[in-house]
Amino acid sequence: MRSLLLTLSAACMTFVPSAAHADDRFAHAQPRHGGIVVSAQHLDWELVAREGRAVLHVRDHATPVETAGAKGQLTVLPAGGEQAKVPLAAAAAGTLTAAGVPTAPGTRYVASVVLPGRKPVQLRFALP
């Protein structure tokens, strides 16, 4: 009886690690455009800030969310600089953009967005 229990427990331990690695429930929250991802209101929001421009990608898992008619504002908090507020405008499907955005390391961003038919959301991002 004891050897049967040892054999069963060894067999269970063999299968548990492989099942854990197959878990991809959170794979959708990975960056797809090289930015920083935050999850809010069951959506993934990825901010890509480069070369004076910010693009906010909005996804429901892997599917871009319609942003036509969306309103938003990006508050920029540069490290050691002055706070700036820049409007976010709907662009291609699943994106909002802002121009004239500081993108130095250490900059923090607060995006306030209202998507059509949804509650307002506030998102926080920080560049490393």
Count of C-beta atoms within a 10 Å radius of residue 58:
23
Q: How many CA atoms lie within 13 A of 103 on its CB side?
A: 15
Q: Answer whether residue 31 shows pLDDT above 90.
A: no
Phi, psi of 4 (to 5 degrees): -65, -45
pTM of the model: 0.76
What is the rounded CA–CA span in Å between residue 81 and residue 124? 18
What is the rounded CA–CA span in Å between residue 116 and residue 48? 22
What is the rounded CA–CA span in Å between residue 86 and residue 46? 17
Under the banding of pLDDT at 50, 70 and 90, the label for residue 4 is low
Q: What digits encode the pLDDT tens for the residues 60-88?
A: 988 999 999 999 999 999 988 889 999 99
CB proximity list for 84: less than 8 A, separation 6 or greater: 75, 76, 78, 101, 102
pLDDT value for 13? 52
Q: What percent of the chain has pLDDT over 90?
A: 62
Q: What percent of the chain has pLDDT over 70?
A: 77
